[in-house]
């Protein structure tokens, strides 16, 4: 690896702090445990924020830490305004926020507005009868004459999206687990209550929200059946894969509610909102909710998260959906997260795992848009292979062994290679730590020349110093098979970014290059070994 060369050209200030920012995702259960119960917590995060700040990221995104029965590990919220005791207290959160701000880090938190836990007081009241003040806060419907569910909608986690509630003598909608009933966000009082939740966290000083599964927040009140999905040739593991989710999500009234959230965020200044919108062909909905400027600042793309291979065609096709022109929103990219198998295990060929991990970091740092870096990605962590008896995730248990599951991407961070449980905890962790992860621990890589962690820091320093990489234009170049090449440009700076995504060496002569700013995998302007790449400075 060549070191990143500081850029000397004058640079203009970024249009906004979040545009082109690098955001580091922390999964609280698995980051660091401060009280030796085997589960990560808020004080553990606070104690390790120095590592995050040292990476050179702009912000952290915290997955849910709210009061929850943990049926879906925090995405089933029972109290939006409090911290679950396994993670700490509100005072612990305030201390985390203060330390992050002291270190120059923004703090983004998850907000789950499409559904709650069935233990939430709102749902407990709503299920009591059909006439109480919360009766219409969730999506209820009568059975068909034969007692079957109101329509054919299917849950993401498998089976019908409707569960019978004996007290109400009705079905309730849950696009996810039965323990995650869907809120009726069409209801004005529900919208007001959710805006109060947002106001609570903005008042505490958080810098923004990631809105989880926000496209599921509004359904078709007519409860029309979803149409069947065209067969693509891929195996369909869940009933939901057999239909187009046309009527159980993305209702036409949703943008108006998003505009209310955005107006509240703007009231507090430079706050940031990112939408999670998944599924195939999600781009139209992403564009709808990020344009005009009064909606989300950006949308979190899924194009790379479940891709089985990383190819130039995939990158070209994906980025082509977000051209730099008026009326098109700003994209965000992630290669890995807490829901998807780690990218290095999906994309690396045998014998090239480390090379692929480093190439992934290089490419991610060069993309136009915001970058979301998942904890451990800076270490080159692979997807953990777990025994069935070690699994905790309901999706993994339901689909075993058809998928890699989510638990394999959620194993604890390794901080110290020789310490018990790799320095994550003083007790047996909630998920096991693979020996190969301990060998990649932070203390092994922190000061090691040529380590993946050292590379990550160099790349993020370069991105932060470069207007071209942070918010510049992107123009694809012609390239040989398996090679991806594009130019990033802004403020008189032009950078050529070249990547060999294949397992065969390629030759790519480059004319007019002033210097190589950074290279991985032994790449040079004339030679690209397998899984290598570099960033080259071009004449202005």
**110, 207, 212, 355: the active-site residue:** 212
DSSP code at position 382: P
Q: What is the DSSP string of 453-516?
A: HHHHHHHHHHHHH-HHHHH-EEEE----TTEEEEEEEETTEEEEEEEE-SSS-B-----S--EE
Q: CB-based contacts of 34: which residues, under 8 Å, 6+ apart?
A: 41, 43, 44, 47
- The conformational region for residue 308 under phi > 0 = left, psi -120 to 50 = alpha, else beta, is alpha
The full 3-state SS of 399-457, as one line of letters, equals HCCCCCCCHHHCCCCCCCCCCHHHHCCCCCCCCCCCHHHHCCCHHHHCCCCCCHHHHHH
For 284, residues 6+ apart whose C-beta sits below 8 A from its C-beta are none
User: Which among 279, 298, 304, 301 is positioned nearest to 484, based on CA atoms?
Assistant: 304
Cα(491)–Cα(127) distance, integer angstroms? 58
Q: How far apart are CA 360 and CA 230, in angstroms?
A: 32
Q: What CA–CA distance (Å, rounded) separates 540 from 525?
A: 18
Buried b (16+ CB within 10 A) or exposed e, 86-100: bbbeeebbebbbebb
Q: Is 285 a catalytic residue?
A: no
Length of the chain (residues):
540
Please say if 92 is a catalytic residue: no
Which of 276, 355, 407, 482 is flagged as catalytic? Answer: 276
Q: What residues are annotated to the active site?
A: 212, 276
């Amino acid at each position: 690896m060549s070191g990143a060369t500081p850029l000397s050209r004058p640079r203009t200030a970024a249009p906004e702090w979040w545009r082109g920012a690098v955001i580091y995702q922390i999964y609280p259960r698995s980051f660091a445990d401060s009280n030796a119960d085997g589960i990560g917590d808020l004080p553990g995060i606070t104690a390790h924020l120095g590592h995050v700040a040292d990476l050179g990221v702009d912000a952290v995104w915290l997955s849910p830490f709210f009061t929850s029965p943990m049926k879906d590990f925090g995405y089933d919220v029972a109290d939006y305004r409090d911290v679950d005791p396994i993670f700490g207290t509100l005072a612990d959160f305030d201390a985390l926020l203060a330390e992050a701000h002291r270190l120059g880090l923004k703090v983004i938190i998850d907000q789950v507005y499409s559904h709650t836990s069935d233990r939430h007081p709102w749902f407990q009241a709503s299920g009591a009868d059909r006439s109480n003040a919360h009766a219409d806060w969730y999506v209820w419907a009568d059975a068909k004459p034969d007692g079957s569910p109101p329509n054919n909608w299917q849950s993401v986690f498998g089976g019908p999206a409707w569960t019978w509630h004996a007290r109400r003598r009705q079905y309730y909608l849950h696009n996810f687990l039965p323990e995650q009933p869907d809120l009726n966000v069409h209801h004005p009082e529900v919208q007001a209550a959710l805006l109060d939740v947002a106001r609570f966290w903005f008042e505490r000083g958080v810098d923004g929200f990631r809105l989880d599964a926000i496209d599921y927040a509004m359904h078709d009140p007519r409860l029309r059946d979803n149409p069947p999905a065209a067969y693509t040739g891929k195996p369909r593991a869940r009933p939901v894969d057999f239909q187009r989710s046309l009527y159980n999500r993305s209702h036409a009234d949703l943008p108006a509610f998003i505009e209310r959230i955005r107006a509240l965020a703007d009231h507090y200044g430079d706050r940031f909102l990112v939408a999670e919108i998944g599924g195939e062909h999600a781009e139209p909905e992403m564009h709808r909710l990020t344009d005009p400027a009064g909606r989300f600042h950006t949308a979190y793309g899924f194009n790379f998260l479940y891709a089985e291979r990383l190819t130039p065609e995939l990158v070209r096709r994906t980025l082509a959906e977000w051209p730099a022109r008026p009326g098109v929103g700003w994209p965000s990219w992630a290669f890995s997260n807490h829901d998807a198998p780690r990218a290095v295990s999906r994309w690396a060929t045998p014998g090239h795992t480390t090379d692929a991990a480093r190439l992934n970091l290089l490419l991610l740092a060069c993309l136009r848009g915001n970058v979301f870096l998942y904890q451990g990605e800076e270490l080159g962590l692979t997807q953990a292979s777990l025994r069935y008896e070690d699994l905790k995730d309901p999706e993994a248990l339901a689909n075993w062994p058809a998928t890699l599951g989510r638990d394999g991407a959620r194993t604890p961070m390794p901080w110290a290679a020789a310490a018990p449980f790799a320095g994550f905890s003083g007790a047996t962790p909630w998920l096991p730590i693979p020996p190969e992860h301990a060998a990649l621990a932070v203390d092994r890589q922190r000061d090691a020349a040529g380590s993946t962690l050292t590379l990550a820091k160099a790349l993020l320093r370069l991105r932060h110093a470069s207007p071209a990489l942070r918010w510049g234009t992107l123009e694809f170049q012609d390239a040989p098979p398996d090679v991806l090449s594009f130019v990033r440009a802004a403020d008189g700076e032009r950078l050529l970014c070249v990547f060999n995504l294949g397992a065969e060496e390629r030759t790519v002569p480059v004319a007019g290059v002033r210097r190589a700013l950074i290279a991985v995998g032994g790449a040079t302007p004339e030679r690209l070994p397998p899984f290598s790449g570099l960033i080259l400075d071009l004449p202005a």
